[in-house]
Structure 1
Amino acid sequence: MKYSGIGGQAVIEGVMMKNGDEYATAVRKPDGTIEVKKESYVSMGEKVKFFSLPLVRGVFSFADSMILGMRALTFSASFFEDDEEDMEPSKFEKFLEKIFGEKMEKALMSMVMVFSVVMAICIFMVLPMFLASIFQRFINSHTVMAILEGVIRIGIFVAYIKLVSRMDDIKRTFMYHGAEHKCINCLENGKELTVENVRNSSKEHKRCGTSFLLIVMIISILFFMVIQVDTIPLRVLSRVVLIPVIAGVSYEFLRLAGRSDSKLVNLLSRPGMWMQELTTKEPDDSMIEVGIASVEAVFDWRAFLDKNFPEKRS
């Protein structure tokens, strides 16, 4: 495999791909055609040098991903909102429009992002701690408690993914997620970006966000084994305060995994790849076409193959 530098995510009936400062969102519209929107985005690490330092860049890279993800989702959702446009705005929407005016959409996006982060912290970091504390009267070992909390955290995550995957829209999004991975794997294994080649490529990839979340959960176990606090408020505080540190370490491992093909790194990456079985599904050819359209808008894959796989291009 050769590292391509491209990455992306699935959106509503589409795929977003990013390469450097450029990203493109391709969406299969209700009429069957593919709409592609290409834009530029300068990451926080490029704007502020400190944000690009090892162990620091992971947090800001995650923030960049959320911002880009919300933009891509908003664009993809715009093709499926005809019914909502005919409805009378709610009192809350009128209130927000009065306060924020033309900036209402950005304000709503920011509110959704903040709410999502707070809920994720509460559900996946704080709740497992409280559930694990129920067994504290029976378990005296701090190490065992940290492992138990981590197992509960992973269990909640798996249950959440299983639950949302029952929704038809989420199932299709997971299929587009598979198309995204297959396109990247196709290129990074030296194959031309055709529907047939993409279809035959793997739907698991080491740089996936699902792997990142699992790595965060595993590394959090190691951190909380070492850090011992007795009172509930301090334990809650430690779970929140250490999130940037844990995310930073997790990002460095994921970054290494995406660029390395060593047996050790591949072995350590396997749990994350297994977890992707929950969040990626096999796409159909029409979804693969959308993924290809997104890649081609921001990435010269022919030049990439000529440079990195000349023996296959001759």
Structure 2
Amino acid sequence: MKSSGIGGQAVLEGIMMRNADKCAVAIRKPNQEIELKEMDCHGIFSNHKVLRTPFIRGAFNFIDSMVLGIKTLTYSATFFEEEAEEIKEKLGDKVTNKIFKEKAESVLIGFTVFVSIVIAVAVFMLLPFLLVDIINNFFNVTSPTLFAIIEGIIRVGIFIAYILLISKMKDIQRTFMYHGAEHKCINCIENGLPLTVENVMKSSKVHKRCGTSFLFIVMIISIIFFVFIRVDNTILKLVIRLLLIPVIAGVSYEFLKLAGRKDNRLVNVLSKPGLWMQKLTTSEPDESMAEVAIEAVEAVFDWEKFQKEETEAECRL
């Protein structure tokens, strides 16, 4: 069947699912009950038509996704904090609440997103460039193409090392399992199967529209873009790379949307590297995790109606 359009994110002991402006978070609480909450997921930029334009919308959608992701992660963490009330009364929270009042949460989330983007750009964009620049001092890499390829290889290597490192953490291991459950639910629906625990468990844990694939596509497309940077000044190279980040994000976003809609050989081949990377960020979930995923999906998406409409469309053809 065609893409359902739904997407999601694994959170702490749960899953967030989003369908257009609908968003729901399902959490497996310590007492094993499932807590379901519908949340506002209107993006910061959702009301600006120009920012929904192809190749422009990608960077802004990425920021919106980060804001929603941090918001839902923060919500899920409240179920597992020890002495939660005491934590909320920390001095930092008191000061923030006093200064920003009802906007305190939005300010903190915005600051977190900003810091996260700065760290990501520094580690995955600037660090590889600086490392290649150091290598260049010893081996005199004069070819811009070779420079960009070596930089890209280092960038991918850092990304893989980062994933492998955090995957050693127990909480992250379980989050990767919920990530697998999220994908399995979407694949179950898009393959025309009834959304049951049994069908979810036998569905694939990788999906072409995954955020992991997006990040990997960004790295690959960055290599292609940076090949065409033909300047000798190091500072100017860095500036151009920074200016190209929104463009690269926009192109990567459009490819990911295309991959979700199309099922031809070329798109499938180009999607393979991202699917391979998902083997590092998804794990096989257990049935209790599949139940959580189903709760989140059914809160935002009428999968029976979707499958019925798709079946009728196929019959008309």
- For the criterion TM > 0.5, the same-fold answer is yes
Which residue type is aligned with residue 28 of structure 2? R
Whether 1:172 and 2:197 are equivalent positions in the alignment is no
Distance 1:72 1:211 in 2: 21
User: What's the CA shift for 1:110?
Assistant: 1.3
Contact kept? 2:156, 2:219, Cα under 8 Å: yes
CA distance in 1, matches of 2:86, 2:57: 43
Output the amino acid matched with 2:237. R
Say whether 1:226 aligns with 2:225. no
Cα distance in 2 for residues equivalent to 1:102 and 1:311: 48
Shift of the 59–76 alpha-carbon distance from structure 1 to 2, 3 Å rule, reads same
Q: Deviations over 1:24-55 (max 9, x none)?
A: 11110111111111134334564011001110
Letter in 2 for 1:72: T
* In structure 2, distance between residues paired with 1:305 and 1:274: 28
* Number of the residue aligned with 2:206: 204
What per-residue deviation string (whole Å, max 9, x for no partner) do you get for residues 59-106 of structure 1? 111112112112211221121124242358444333323322333222
How far 1:207 sits from its partner (Å)?
0.2
What TM-score results when the alignment is normalised by the length of structure 1?
0.95
Cα pair 1:45 1:57 within 8 Å, conserved: no
1-structure distance, mates of 2:152, 2:143: 14
Distance 1:43 1:108, change over 3 A: closer
The aligned length equals 313
Map of 1:142-221 to 2, 5 A cutoff?
Answer: 142-221=144-223
1:86 maps to a residue whose letter is E
Ranges in structure 1 where 5+ consecutive residues have no aligned partner = none
Moved more, 67-76 or 82-91: 82-91
What code does the residue aligned with 1:217 have? M
Q: Is 1:60 matched with 2:50?
A: no
* Residue in 1 that maps onto 2:109: 109
Q: How does 1:164-313 map to 2 (within 5 A)?
A: 164-309=166-311
1:47 aligned to 2:47? Answer: yes
Answer yes or no: is the 8 Å Cα contact 1:3–1:258 preserved in 2: yes
Q: Percent identity?
A: 57
Amino acid at match of 1:52: R
**Partner residue in 2 for 1:95:** 95
Residues 100-140 of structure 1, C-alpha deviation per residue, up to 9 Å, x if partnerless? 23332222111111100100000000000000112213122
Q: CA RMSD in A?
A: 1.8
CA distance in 2, matches of 1:280, 1:49: 34
For residue 74 of structure 1, what is the aligned residue in structure 2? 74
Q: Deviations over 1:233-256 (max 9, x none)?
A: 212212211100000011111110
How many Å separate the matches in 1 of 2:147 and 2:248?
18
Q: Distance in 1 between matches of 2:272 and 2:228?
A: 25
> Unmatched 5+ residue regions in structure 2?
none
Once residues 90 and 28 of structure 1 are traced to their aligned partners in structure 2, the CA distance between those partners, rounded to angstroms, is 26
Who is 1:17 aligned against?
A: 17
Bigger shift: residues 180-189 or 46-55: 46-55
For the 8 Å contact 1:215–1:272, the answer to whether it is kept is: yes
